[in-house]
Amino acid sequence: MPDEPLAAAPVLRTERLILRGHTRADFDECAAMWADPQVTRHIGGRPSTEEEVWARVLRYAGLWALLGYGYWAVREWESGRFVGDVGLADFRRAVTPALGDAPEAGWVLAPWAHGRGLATEAVRAVLSWADAHLAAPRTVCLIAPGNAASIHVAEKCGFRERERGTYKAEETIICERPRG
């Protein structure tokens, strides 16, 4: 872990997407995404309030400042439309078994973006960046057992189920991906 604060998120570009650090201008679209029950049914099980989303956006910025990695706001390259949040974190989750110090990948997309391959495209860009810039030998992710779409994205991005665990009294799948 770096001892000095680091710069903001780098900009990543893919065929269809641009990934950049969150700004205040992303808040309304981010809040609308996190307020959608379809989005949150496998992530916490309930829509987020604006206060919770604001704290999440602040946390995203803090990850970059303290760890040198974090979450990106994802937008379509051509239209500029908000796609979602994708990135890496160390949330120090109280998950059993423990995740260790591996960066944890995560992704959440607005409902209109589901089923179009955008999550896979964004996660692959993040993992490619991580392989080039982080010394971590592996990344992990947590997925609710009923979240077939995220399990599919994880598998396409090289994650494999390591084991089943418990997070906030719920079963979770702990997946792992060795450094590319």
Output the tens digit of pLDDT for each of the chain's 180 residues.
445 545 689 999 999 999 999 999 999 999 999 999 999 999 988 999 999 999 999 999 999 999 999 999 999 999 999 999 999 999 999 999 999 999 999 999 999 999 999 999 999 999 999 999 999 999 999 999 999 999 999 999 999 999 999 999 999 999 999 997
Give the CA diameter of the chain: 42
Taking only the tens place, the pLDDT of each residue in 37-87 is 999 999 988 999 999 999 999 999 999 999 999 999 999 999 999 999 999
Give the 3-state DSSP-derived string for 103-135, with helices as H, strands as E and coil as C: CEEEEEECHHHCCCCHHHHHHHHHHHHHHHHCC
Torsion sign across C-alpha atoms 13, 56, 52, 100: positive
Cβ–Cβ < 8 Å for 64, 8: yes
Cβ–Cβ < 8 Å for 102, 88: no
| Residues 6+ away with beta carbon under 8 Å from 154 | 141, 143, 175
What is the reported pLDDT for 6? Answer: 57
What is the reported pLDDT for 8? Answer: 84
What is the reported pLDDT for 2? Answer: 45
Q: How far is Cα 56 from Cα 135, in angstroms, rounded to an integer?
A: 25
What is the Cα 37 distance to its own chain's centre?
18
